[in-house]
Structure 1
């Protein structure tokens, strides 16, 4: 997987940070999942290698404008750019009204099937490779966090062990790799499970919407390879963060530490902080959770 921060600011666009949007690209097929779609997200995409027609799922954390105002334009542009595959949008109650009203009033006609899913807590999507779980956070409006879990993969086929047991390469190896039980020419029955190494653990990526520090954040981030957590304010602004249902740099780091994540990226940075302030914000979080980086627009992370 590959993650691109398309917007890392809070509230409204700023000179160096656009409002929130994150793209998660699946390298096995090139498909892209978008998390939030703030104003001018499609402009940000123009500076990347992301193709709008490859976006097949959009997950909205909550319905504040800095997370959804870019959505109608992107949906229309995807159609103009020969996007014909179905697109699924997931989000809180109200996302359907927002999208359908925007498209109707602007007379935007899509060339692809658009499926809108108003979600509740739990597993909201699953396929043979991964699943995604949503939980409610602590924000002034309904806000969700998303936990993307890649399913464990079977271990490598133990070729040398097979050869030692007199089982030479051939079509049978594929059956054993799939864990099947097969009968050999000499009458022996063997199970592929006996010739596989340990399972390869899938990766976990947690992307949270706007929130105060809460238990749901920690649960969603448990043992994640990567946590993306808002840090709208610095450590000295805990009172105002609480008042506006947001988090500080230190609070984001505390979630990462308590959840046992491997890496933390802080984002959704208030425009009150100039570029010269960013290293200090990162330092504040690192004092609690050393493996922290402050995100910036167009940063690409290979997972």
Structure 2
């Protein structure tokens, strides 16, 4: 994963720094995640190779303006760019009502579905590429941090180790291949022991 800082200023932008915005890029492909979306984040994106079609999810830490005032414009631009895929938004409660009211008042229709997940009750969210855990933070308003763990792609069964340990072919191999630990002859077999990954 790579991080691309779109804004690091606090409260208000400066001539050299925009307000909060951080892009987290997947290791392969064009998928990426946006953490916070302060005003003019979409303008900052114009200086990057990222597209709104590759955006997989938006995570908002808290409802202060320097972390979320860029959301309506960015979402409207995604619609004008003909985005079709649904977009997940993980954010404190209230963001959904605010965005829906903003779009209703401005008569903005989006050609894609917004899927809201309240950070207060989510705990964890995942895609085939990443797992995102939510943790409460201390701030003047409800605030949340997000930890991203990258999935290990295309695991392959380590057949040599399975045969060496006399693990019989069949359902046990299938369970291990899908990432499940299993019991066999009184032993706990860890899936990770019998999988090889193309990269860390």
Q: Classify the TM-score, shorter chain.
A: 0.7 to 0.9
Q: Is the 8 A contact 1:20 1:36 kept in 2?
A: yes
Q: RCO higher in 1 or 2 (8 Å CA, sep ≥ 6)? A: 1
Can you list the C-alpha shifts for 1:114-148, whole angstroms capped at 9, x where unaligned?
A: 12222225533123443211111110000001111
C-alpha change, 1:65 and 1:79, in structure 2 (3 Å) is same
Structure 2: tracts of 5 or more residues without a match: 178-190
Equivalent pair of 2:32/2:56 in contact (CA under 8 Å):
yes
Q: TM-score, normalised by structure 1?
A: 0.52
Counterpart of 1:108 in structure 2 is 108
Q: Residue 56 and residue 6 in structure 1: after superposition, are their counterparts in 2 closer, same or farther (change >3 A)? A: same
Between the aligned partners of 2:116 and 2:157, the Cα distance in structure 1 is 41
Q: Aligned pair 1:145/2:145, yes or no?
A: yes
Q: How many residues align?
A: 184
Larger of the two Rg values belongs to structure: 1
RMSD of the alignment, in Å?
Answer: 3.6
Cα distance in 2, alignment partners of residues 161 and 37 from structure 1: 47
Deviations 1:20-65 (A, max 9, x none): 0011122334222111000000000000000012213101000000
Partner residue in 1 for 2:50: 50
Q: 2:80 & 2:155 partners in 1: Cα distance?
A: 43
Indicate the residue corresponding to 1:3 in structure 2: 3
The aligned residue for residue 182 of structure 2 is none
- Cα shift at 1:177: 9.8
Structure 2 matches for 1:73-152, cutoff 5 A?
A: 73-121=73-121, 123-151=123-151
**Residue aligned with 1:117, SS:** strand
